[in-house]
């Protein structure tokens, strides 16, 4: 299990194919959580969303080829996110499931800054 951060946002991604093109036999997830960052709004938030969009991925692959980098054939899909705020991420490991919950900060009037659930989901494979 690897939990990572420091990308200035949080997301949940799923591995779709290994470098050799094989489909994973068990779910493989990437959970990224950067707990302390500036709340990103406006143009900067739009830029981050564009970077992780399908179009942004195509531009990234084109720039990589232009720079002479070898192609990456491992395929990830961002399923949930990005969450562009200060966050706390919880991972709950259960006997037959794993759940992730990302809570983000938000100003709440006189109450000050509070945590609110931005996303919550199961990481278990869907039942057939």
Could you report the per-residue pLDDT of 48-97, keeping only the tens digit for each?
A: 777 777 888 788 888 988 999 887 778 888 888 888 878 888 999 999 89
pTM of the model: 0.74
> What is the spatial distance between Cα 8 and Cα 1, in angstroms, rounded to a whole number?
21
Is residue 81 within 8 Å of residue 9, measured between CB atoms?
yes
Mean pLDDT of 20-27: 86
How confident is the prediction for the chain on average, in pLDDT? 81
Higher pLDDT, 18 or 1: 18
Q: Cα–Cα distances in Å, from 23 out to 17, 18, 27, 125?
A: 5, 6, 10, 14
* pLDDT at residue 68 in the model: 92
Give, for 82, the enclosing helix (H) or strand (E).
strand 75-83
C-alpha angle 116/121/125, rounded to 5°?
175
Looking up tokens 């006189």 gives: 110
């Amino acid at each position: 299990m690897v939990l990572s951060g420091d990308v200035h946002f949080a997301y949940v991604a799923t591995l779709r194919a290994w470098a050799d093109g094989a489909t994973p036999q068990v779910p493989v997830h990437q959970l990224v959580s950067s707990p302390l960052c500036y709340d990103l709004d406006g143009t900067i938030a739009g830029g981050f969303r564009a970077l992780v969009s399908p179009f942004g991925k195509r531009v990234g692959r084109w720039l990589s080829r232009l720079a002479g980098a070898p192609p990456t054939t491992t395929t990830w899909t961002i399923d949930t996110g990005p969450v562009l705020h200060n966050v706390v991420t919880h991972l709950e490991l259960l006997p037959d499931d794993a759940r992730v919950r990302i809570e983000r900060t938000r100003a709440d009037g006189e109450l000050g800054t509070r945590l609110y659930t931005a996303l919550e989901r199961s990481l278990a494979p869907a039942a057939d």
